[in-house]
A and B are shown apart, each in its own frame.
Chain A
Amino acid sequence: MQFFLPNRGPGRLIVVEGIDGSGKSTQIALLSQWLRLRGYAVAFSEWNSSPLVHETTRRGKRKEMFTPTSFSLIHATDFADRMERYIIPLLKAGAVVCADRYAYTAFARDMVRGVDRAWVRNIYRFALKPDLAFYFKVPLEVALGRILGGRNALKYYEAGMDLGLSRNIEESFRIFQGRILAEYESMIEEMGFHVIDATKSIEAQQKEMRRVVLREFGVTRPPGVLGVELNAARLHA
C-alpha cells in the first residue's frame, strides 16, 4: 500500500521519530545547524505547532474533551495545515525541511488509543513521503529516566491518562510509552526507518545521521536544492 504521496522535490524532507525522551529533538536541531553551515536552506516544522488549530487543541487538552477519534483528527488537522501552508511550498522551492515527528507519530499513538489502523493511515495519505526518516531506538527505561528525571510535571494526554491505564500519572506514562514503543518497533521495516541507536553518545548519534545524509543526498548539493551559494550566484547573474 502507498502510504504517502511522492515528494517531487526539488527540496528534501527529513523526519525524526521516537518516543518521548529518545533524544530526537536534540539530534534534528544539530543536524539542521550542520546543514545550514553546509550552505543548505533549511526549514523546521514541529509536531502539533500550527497556529490555526492551537487554541482548539489547547481547549480540548485543558478541559480533557478529546476522544481517541477527535484527538486523532485535530492532530491530522494540525499536520495538514503545516503540510499545505509550509512544508509543501518550501519543498517545491527547494528547501531542506526537517520535521520533528511526522505522520508515524499519529500511526503509533492513535493505534495505542484504539483507533482503527486503516482509518488513521488513510487520513495521512496526503502527506509527502520523507526522503529520510530517522527512528531513535531506545529502551523504555532509558527514555523514562531522561523524562522523569528532567521534568516533573507530566501532562494528561502525554501520559495517556485518557486511556485509564493507571490512576498514577507516572505509571500511566510508563505503560503508554511502552505501548507506543512497540508500535514504532513494528513500523521500522514497513516504513523504511533509518534506525539510530539512541543509547549512544549525542556525538556518535549525530555522526551517524550526517553519514546517512551524505550517503543519501551526496556530498555536493543536489540540483534545485536551495542553498546560500546558489542564491549568491543568482544575485550576480
Chain B
Amino acid sequence: MPDYKDRPPLSYYSTALPGVDYSELQGKLIVVEGPDAVGRSTQIRGLKPWLEEAGHAVLDTGMARSALAGKGIKEAKQGNTLGSITMTLYYLTDFADRLENEIIPALRAGVVVLTDRYIYSVMARAIARGENRAWIEKTAGFALVPHAVLYLRADVPDLISRVVVGRGAFDFWESGMDLRFGRNMFDSFVRYQSRLIRVFDSLAAPYNFQVIDATRPPVEVFESLKASVARIFDGDDNPAAGRRKSVRPAHPSGSFRAAATRRKP
C-alpha cells in the first residue's frame, strides 16, 4: 500500500505545462477509472456528497466535458471517419482544456477534484487500437500525477450484463466497431472490451492504480472507494482529517485498519 502521507506535492508525469507553478496546487486529485459500463458515474454520484459532507469543496469533471472540445468530440463520434490517432488527440485536447481551465484552478484553490476517467482511458483506447504505447504515454505526459487512481475492475461478462440491463443496447464506440473487432456488435464488444481490460491491467502497476473489485454489489464497491479516498486525507492538517473516525469503521475489514492494528507494538 503506498504511503500517502509522504506524497510529494502534485506534479506532472513527463512534461511540465508552460506557466504552471506546481507548488501552488493545494487540492487533491482523485481519479475514477475503469472500462465502459463498470459503474464509475454511479460511484462518483455517491462520492461527491460524501466528500462535501466531510467539508471538502468538490469539483467533478469527466471526459469529453470541456467547453472547448466536448461538443466537437460528440459530433465527430456521430460520423464514421474518426481515425484512432485523431480520436486520441481530440480527447487529449479536451483533457488539456479541462486540466488547465478547470482542474488546475480548482486545485490551486484547495478543492478536491473528482474525475470520471483520466488520461488512462485515452491511453487504453489508443493502445487497444494498436497505437504506439510510448507515443501515447509521452503525448499524455503533461497530466498531473493524481493522489489516487481508483481502478474499478470487472470482467467482460459483468460489463455485458450491465450494458444489457442498464442501457438496453450496445454502443458503437464502446464496442470498438470503428475497427470491427467482431462480426457483429456483441462479438466486437466482447473482444474490444477484453483488450481494453488487459491494457488497463497493464497500466495498473506503472501508474499506481488501486484496483477495486467492481464485480461486487455497488454498496460494497462504494465502501472500498470511501476507504481509499479517506487515506488520501490521513495526516492532513485539515478539519476533514478529524473525520477519520467516522470514515474508517465504514470499511469493516479494510486493509487500512488491518495495517494500523499490525503496526501496534
Q: Mark B76-112, 1 if CB is under 8 A from A, else 0.
A: 1001011111101110110011001100000000000
Interface of B is mostly: helix
Whether, in the assembled complex, A74 has its beta carbon less than 8 Å from a beta carbon of chain B, the answer is: yes
B93 and A81: CB pair below 8 A?
A: no
Whether, in the assembled complex, A26 has its beta carbon less than 8 Å from a beta carbon of chain B, the answer is: no
| Chain A residues in 8 Å Cβ range of B83 | 80-81, 84-85
Whether, in the assembled complex, A49 has its beta carbon less than 8 Å from a beta carbon of chain B, the answer is: no
Interchain CB contact (< 8 A) of B85 among A60, A74, A84, A116: A84
| Chain A residues in 8 Å Cβ range of B142 | 69, 119
Interchain CB contact (< 8 A) of B97 among A65, A76, A119, A123: A65
Whether, in the assembled complex, A35 has its beta carbon less than 8 Å from a beta carbon of chain B, the answer is: no
Interface of A is mostly: helix
Interface size on B, residues (CB 8 A): 35
B18 and A69: CB pair below 8 A?
A: yes
Whether, in the assembled complex, A67 has its beta carbon less than 8 Å from a beta carbon of chain B, the answer is: yes
B68 and A70: CB pair below 8 A?
A: yes
How many residue pairs bridge A and B at CB < 8 Å?
Answer: 101
Interface size on A, residues (CB 8 A): 31
B85 and A69: CB pair below 8 A?
A: no
B85 and A67: CB pair below 8 A?
A: no
Q: Which of A51-59, A130-138, A203-211, A215-223 contacts B (4 or more CB under 8 A)?
A: A51-59
Q: Which of B38-46, B47-55, B133-141, B191-199 contacts A (4 or more CB under 8 A)?
A: B133-141
Whether, in the assembled complex, B69 has its beta carbon less than 8 Å from a beta carbon of chain A, the answer is: yes
B71 and A123: CB pair below 8 A?
A: no
Whether, in the assembled complex, B203 has its beta carbon less than 8 Å from a beta carbon of chain A, the answer is: no
Residues of chain A at the chain B interface (Cβ within 8 Å): 52-53, 55-56, 59-60, 65-70, 73-74, 76-77, 80-81, 83-85, 113-116, 118-119, 122-123, 125-126
18 A-B pairs with C-beta separation under 8 A: A52-B86, A53-B72, A65-B68, A67-B19, A69-B96, A69-B142, A70-B68, A70-B97, A70-B100, A73-B96, A74-B93, A81-B86, A84-B86, A85-B86, A114-B19, A116-B18, A119-B14, A119-B139
